[in-house]
Copies of this chain bind each other. A is one copy, B any other.
């Protein structure tokens, strides 16, 4: 593709995306296709000859779009958001265009240094502990997802607990990790991957607000110690996926410090709230954590993938993950004056992901980001208020931030039907969880374009369909 063709088709794709956002509210949020339907319209074999770009672009609208669930719709309230924005898309475009692979400082110094710099900015923006700064003992790195960040944290904890012996000799079945029974499934996945084993992951009880019970954690650790096991890792959550529950970091941190256990704090979605001083209470106690992550690709207008992972002791992380084959040797690395991010995560290769984050922060400014985050929380709280005022519904828990967990009082079957009908309507998309052993609906406000009218319409639709279901029940 020549430069002229790239200009021409590039504009066509930019316009396509602009049109998409202008029309996104007219599309059913949750795709309505059946399994296999998208594939059935695609040719069985790759083309032998190249095809005109116009044909490819036409197929996006005709063959692909019906199978898209519109995460960027303002009516998307499911899971956690994965929001994006114009500056993020364009920053990512520039990253694709430059096509650098930043595994080492020397393979693109700007890729490494901008990342370190922007992650230091974020320490200040979220008022995180200073030990996470690259100028102190720690530092930040962009990971693809919080799952990978948790895995890196777990591995660091495993290694620190035995002076990096498992890396050399292999894991044994005496290591134990801890997290609450509300923690993200990625912790269980990490424990399996790291060779610790699911049986050695203790699920700590939670309180009525779905935060970890620190005294139960202490009991479990004590018992494991007495039985000769090696407690090596605690994953605390700030904003659980199920209900946005917040674990008590001060108490957990004390226990970890006393027992010399690596404390990782996963604030995948909720962390962004700390942009606003009034929500920084979610990070109380974070100064005792060994590592921390939050995802700008969830709630900070930066498209996937962009998880910001911080460690207090970068030496421990690097020692856990470093490798140095001859073909990667270079003077800059050997000087010790640079960061080589290949040793900060699982894969070797990496793209220039800090560009999109830099674009977002500069485009919005701190105040712009605060404005949107505050508005999302405000909208969620309004919605929660409506739920409370309707006798047919109840809140499963008081929502701390932008996720509302609620249910119709008519029981699991009615709630399931309610959710299915809402999602089939195409007007909105929400998902469920289980709380107190009851099916509970989750409405999370976090997409970039979500405004009052979308949340209001969602609530009216929920009431309307609920009324229909009540009539037949």
Contact = CB atoms under 8 A, between A and B. Distances in A.
Contacts of A366: 46-48
A324 to B, nearest CB: 7
A215 interface: no
13 contacts: A31-B106, A35-B109, A46-B361, A66-B110, A67-B110, A68-B109, A69-B100, A89-B97, A170-B171, A185-B325, A185-B348, A193-B194, A194-B194
A30 interface: yes
Interface string A193-225: 111111110000000000000000000000000
Nearest to A134: B39
| Most B Cβ at <10 Å: residue of A31, A48, A105, A241 | A31
Nearest to A164: B192
Contacts of A45: 121, 124
Interface stretch (A80-88, A374-382, A455-463): A80-88
B31 A3 contact: no
Nearest to A85: B1
A281 interface: no
Interface in A1-58: 1, 3-7, 9-11, 13-22, 30-31, 33, 35-39, 42, 45-51, 53, 55-56
Given A20-B97, A349-B304, A363-B53, A114 B42 contact: yes
Given A169-B173, A338-B35, A346-B148, A304 B192 contact: no
Q: Which 3 A-B pairs have the closest CB atoms?
A: A195-B195, A170-B197, A67-B110
Contact of A173 (B93, B172, B365): B172
A1 B363 contact: yes
Contact of A363 (B30, B51, B90, B125): B51
A315 interface: no
A168 interface: yes
A123 to B, nearest CB: 10
A324 B117 contact: no
B193 A196 contact: no
Interface string A335-355: 101100000001111110001
| Most B Cβ at <10 Å: residue of A22, A97, A242 | A97
A264 to B, nearest CB: 16
A146 B347 CA distance: 8
Q: How many copies does the complex hold?
A: 2
A361 to B, nearest CB: 5
A100 B78 CA distance: 12
A6 B304 contact: no
A179 interface: no
Contacts of A7: 14-15, 18
Contacts of A13: 90, 93-94, 97
Contacts of A42: 113-114, 117
Given A46-B366, A109-B38, A166 B197 contact: yes
A393 interface: no
Contacts of A116: 39
Given A6-B89, A144-B347, 11 more contacts: A1-B363, A6-B18, A10-B14, A30-B106, A31-B110, A35-B337, A42-B114, A49-B367, A69-B107, A148-B347, A166-B197
Nearest to A295: B349
A467 interface: no
B242 A327 contact: yes
A433 B328 CA distance: 8
A72 interface: yes
Nearest to A435: B326
A432 interface: yes
A101 to B, nearest CB: 4
A72 B98 CA distance: 7
A327 B69 contact: no
A126 B166 CA distance: 39
A274 interface: no
Given A51-B365, A89-B97, A442-B327, A197 B113 contact: no
A186 B348 contact: yes
